[in-house]
Structure 1
C-alpha cells in the first residue's frame, strides 16, 4: 500500500519550507500566525491532511532519529565513542554554543510550531469534516506533548508556546516544569479522546498517532510524576489491546520491534522514502561508532538482546574493543523494512512493573518483569523485596532500551541517580548542574526573558 507519510509530499514540503527554516529566532519560528493558518490552507481535507502530515515530516530530522539516541546516551553512562576519545557529550562538558544542542532545541520547537499551526487552522475552519477535524487536532496535541516531554526533561523550565503568533512566541518566558507537565497531561488527555483506536485510517501503517500512543505517553508521564495508580491504568489500557499489540517472542533475524508495523510497535517514524532507518544506516552500524560502556557485563548469560541487538567491534588488528548497539540492522537494503520506533509495547510492561512495586503489588510487578525477561530467554525473577525489584526493573530498562530514545539518561534523572552514577566515571567531568542541558546561546541572545540554566 502507498505510504501515507509521503502521499502529499509536494504539499507539506511547502509548509515545512515556510514554517521551519529559520534557526535564529528564539523558538525557531519565523512566520506570523495568519500565513499558515489561512482559510485557503484549511479549506479542504486534502490540504488539511497535508498540514498534519507536515508535523510528522518535521520529525524526520537529526534529533528524532540520531541525537535523541546518541547524544543522550553519551551524557548518561550508556554510550562511549569507539575511538576512546571523549567528546563534550561523553564528558558532560557541553557549552551553550554547542551546535547539536541548538539543533535539538530548534527541531523540537519547529515541530511544536507546526502542531500549533494545525490546531489553530483546523479549529478556525468552517469547511472541514467535524470528525476528521477532531482527529487532526488530537494528532497535533499528541505530537506537541511528545516534544514538550523532551524539552522539559532536557532543559527544565522552557517556554510554553501554544500559538503561532510570532509576537507572542519570540519573547515567551520560561514556564515551570510543573506548568509544562500540566500542559502535556492536558494535551494527551484531550488527544486520547479523539485519536483513532486502530490504524485503519492509516492504511494499517503505524506511522501516525492512535489513542494508544497517547495512552503510552500518559503512562510514561505519570510514572515520571510518581502517580503510580494512573501510570498503571494507562499502561494496562494499552497492554490490554491484545488484538493490536503483542510482545515479539523471537528476536531472531527478520523479527524485531523495529521492523515496519511490527506487533510491538505503537508509533514509528519512516525515514523519508526508503526502507531503512538513519539509525541503522548511519548511527549504530557494524562499524561501531559508539560502544556500550558496560559492554558484555550489562547482560546475563544467554540474554537474547545481547545476541540479537549488539555486534562485536574490533580494530584493524583484530583486537576486541567492545560491543555496539545493532538494533536497527537494515543499513541500505530493501528488506526488512525498518522504521524509527519511539514508542513500543515493552515500555508499558516495565512502566507498569515499576508502578506496581510502588503500589506494593509485588506479584503483579513480577509478572510484568517476567514478560520482558522471558522474551530475552531469561528465567523468571525470584525477587520479592521491593527495593531489589526496583533495581532489577532499572536494569531491565537499561538492557531493553539501550541506545533508544534517551531512556537511560531520563531514567537516571527521574530516579535521582545521576550524581551517584556519573560522578564516579573517570572520563566524565561531572557536576550536578549537568543534569540539565544549556539553553542554546542563540535562544538566550534573541529572547531577553530566558535565563540560562545553572552551571553554564
Structure 2
C-alpha cells in the first residue's frame, strides 16, 4: 500500500504541473516504470544508472525534442514554409492558446524536468550508491533540466521554475522571471561541469549519447551568448573547441560523413531513438518530398556551398525553385546510422566568432568564421568591419543551423531583429507580442496562478 501511495502521489503531482485534464489526456503521457519505483531504484548502481538513462529516453518518447522543436520555430521565423505554400497558424504567427502542439511542447518539457527532479531527489537521498557515480548522475540530471529550461524560457519567457516533485510546491507554481530562469540554468550547468565525465568512456562503446563536461560547457557558451556575456561565451566555447583529441570538424561533407552520423567527431551530444538506428528528423520531419521547404531557398547559399549540395534537395514547386531541408538522410532505415544531434562543434565556432566581434577581436572572429566556411568549401572572409562581420555570422548561422532546434527563431529574437525581419514578410500577421508563444490554456485551467503572455487571451 505504501508503494502505491508514493506512486499515485507522483502521478498526481506530475499531471497537475502539466496542466492535463481528463482521463484520455492522462493516458497519452507515459511515465516509465523505473521512474515510479522510488523506493527500489536507488538501492543499486545498476538500477540508478538505468533510471538516469531513462531521462534521456523520455526526451524521445514525445515529439517535442525531435519534431516540434524543429518545425514550429522554423515556421514562426523566416526559415520554413509548407510545401503546399498554404499558410497555417505558425507561418502566419497566429498561434492560439489551445494549440495542441504548443501544449504538447509544454508537457514534454515539464515531463522531462519532472524526471530530472525526481532523479536528483532520489540520488541525493540514497546512501547505497557509489558516491562518484551519484555525483555524475546528479550532474546529468541537472544538465538535462537546464537544457529544458533554456528552451522553455526562450519559447514562453517567464515560466514556473520547478525544482522539486513536491505536489504542494509545484501544482500551483507561479511564473518565475526569465532572469531567475537563466540564473538557475547557469547554476545547474556550472555544478554539472564539476562532476560530468570529460570523455565518453563511461558510456557503452563510447557513444556520444549522454552528457559530458563539454556538453555543459557548450550549453553555457550558448546561454552566455544569449545573455550578452561575451567573455564568458568565448571562454566556454574555447573550452570545448580546445578538446581536439575528441572534437574535430568534419572534412568533406557527404551522406556518410556528416555531423548527424552517430558518434562523429563534431557531435557533442546526440540522442538516439532506442532500439532503432534512424533519427526521426530524417524519417518523418524533413524527408525527401516532405512537408517543409526553406522559405529563402537558394538565396542564402553561395554557389559552391557544400551545405547546399549535401544538406538540401532542389525542388520546383508551382514553377518556383526551392530547397528542401535534408540534413538527415535516412528514412526509417538503418544506414547510415544517424542520431538527433543536440549539440555540435560548429555552433561553438559561431558562438565564439560572435563573441570575439563583440570583444573587438576581429582576427579571432575571422578565424572562427573561416573554420565554418572552409568546411563548406567556401573561401576565407576578408571582412573587417564589426557590423559586416556580425551580419556574416548571422548568415553563416542560417546556413549551418537551418532546421535545427529553433536556432533561427531564437537568433532573430535575441539580436532584436524579429520585428524588422518578420514584420516585412508578406503573409505574416506579425505583432511584437508574437515573439513569445502562448501559455497553454490547459495549463492555465489547472493552475490559476499562471498568467498569460501579452497578445493572447
TM over 0.5: yes
8 Å contact 1:152–1:158 — kept in the other structure? Answer: yes
> In structure 2, do the counterparts of structure 1 residues 22 and 256 end up closer, same or farther at CA, with 3 Å as the change threshold?
farther
Question: What do residues 56-91 of structure 1 show as CA deviations (whole Å, max 9, x unaligned)?
Answer: 011002110011110110000000000010000011
Q: After superposition, where does 1:310-389 map in structure 2 within 5 Å?
A: 310-314=312-316, 319-389=319-389
> Per-residue deviation at 1:180?
0.3
Partner residue in 2 for 1:26: 17
> In structure 2, do the counterparts of structure 1 residues 332 and 17 end up closer, same or farther at CA, with 3 Å as the change threshold?
farther
SS at match of 2:313: strand
Query: In structure 2, what is the Cα distance between the partners aligned to 1:402 and 1:121?
Result: 39
- Structure 1 runs of 4+ aligned residues shifted over 4 Å read 15-24, 28-31
Partner residue in 2 for 1:281: 283
8 Å contact 1:24–1:442 — kept in the other structure? Answer: no
Partner residue in 1 for 2:72: 71
Query: In structure 1, what is the Cα distance between the partners aligned to 2:307 and 2:113?
Result: 34
Query: In structure 2, what is the Cα distance between the partners aligned to 1:16 and 1:364?
Result: 54
SS at match of 1:25: helix
1:99 to 2:100 alignment: yes
Structure 2 unaligned runs (5+)?
1-5, 21-25
Partner residue in 2 for 1:161: 162
Query: In structure 2, what is the Cα distance between the partners aligned to 1:42 and 1:325?
Result: 43
1:219 to 2:221 alignment: yes
Query: In structure 2, what is the Cα distance between the partners aligned to 1:268 and 1:208?
Result: 7
Query: In structure 2, what is the Cα distance between the partners aligned to 1:45 and 1:205?
Result: 20
SS at match of 1:256: coil
Partner residue in 2 for 1:9: none
Equivalent position to 1:301, from 303, 306, 314: 303
Query: In structure 1, what is the Cα distance between the partners aligned to 2:12 and 2:376?
Result: 43
> In structure 2, do the counterparts of structure 1 residues 385 and 137 end up closer, same or farther at CA, with 3 Å as the change threshold?
same
8 Å contact 1:26–1:444 — kept in the other structure? Answer: no
Partner residue in 2 for 1:137: 138
Partner residue in 1 for 2:63: 62
> Per-residue deviation at 1:20?
7.4
8 Å contact 1:433–1:454 — kept in the other structure? Answer: yes
Partner residue in 1 for 2:23: none
Partner residue in 1 for 2:194: 193
Equivalent position to 2:252, from 250, 253, 262: 250
Partner residue in 2 for 1:4: none
> Per-residue deviation at 1:21?
10
Q: After superposition, where does 1:263-274 map in structure 2 within 5 Å?
A: 263-274=265-276
Query: In structure 1, what is the Cα distance between the partners aligned to 2:412 and 2:12?
Result: 34
Question: What do residues 286-309 of structure 1 show as CA deviations (whole Å, max 9, x unaligned)?
Answer: 113100000001101100000000
SS at match of 1:26: helix
Query: In structure 1, what is the Cα distance between the partners aligned to 2:198 and 2:214?
Result: 7
SS at match of 2:18: coil
Q: CA RMSD, aligned part only?
A: 2.0
Partner residue in 1 for 2:91: 90
SS at match of 1:159: coil
> In structure 2, do the counterparts of structure 1 residues 325 and 16 end up closer, same or farther at CA, with 3 Å as the change threshold?
farther
SS at match of 2:67: helix
> Per-residue deviation at 1:345?
0.2
8 Å contact 1:236–1:352 — kept in the other structure? Answer: yes
8 Å contact 1:37–1:118 — kept in the other structure? Answer: no
> Per-residue deviation at 1:23?
8.5
> Per-residue deviation at 1:322?
1.3
How many residues align? The count is 437
8 Å contact 1:20–1:110 — kept in the other structure? Answer: no
> In structure 2, do the counterparts of structure 1 residues 405 and 65 end up closer, same or farther at CA, with 3 Å as the change threshold?
same
SS at match of 1:175: coil
> In structure 2, do the counterparts of structure 1 residues 53 and 168 end up closer, same or farther at CA, with 3 Å as the change threshold?
same
> Per-residue deviation at 1:409?
0.2
> Per-residue deviation at 1:158?
0.2
Structure 1 unaligned runs (5+)?
1-14
> In structure 2, do the counterparts of structure 1 residues 404 and 43 end up closer, same or farther at CA, with 3 Å as the change threshold?
same
Partner residue in 1 for 2:184: 183
Partner residue in 1 for 2:3: none
Partner residue in 2 for 1:394: 394
Between 1:42-51 and 1:402-411, the stretch displaced more is: 42-51
Query: In structure 2, what is the Cα distance between the partners aligned to 1:17 and 1:298?
Result: 52
8 Å contact 2:14–2:114 — kept in the other structure? Answer: no
> In structure 2, do the counterparts of structure 1 residues 19 and 388 end up closer, same or farther at CA, with 3 Å as the change threshold?
farther
Question: What do residues 420-455 of structure 1 show as CA deviations (whole Å, max 9, x unaligned)?
Answer: 000011110001000000000011111111100000
Partner residue in 1 for 2:433: 433
> Per-residue deviation at 1:320?
4.9
Query: In structure 2, what is the Cα distance between the partners aligned to 1:43 and 1:122?
Result: 10
> In structure 2, do the counterparts of structure 1 residues 47 and 445 end up closer, same or farther at CA, with 3 Å as the change threshold?
same
SS at match of 1:174: coil
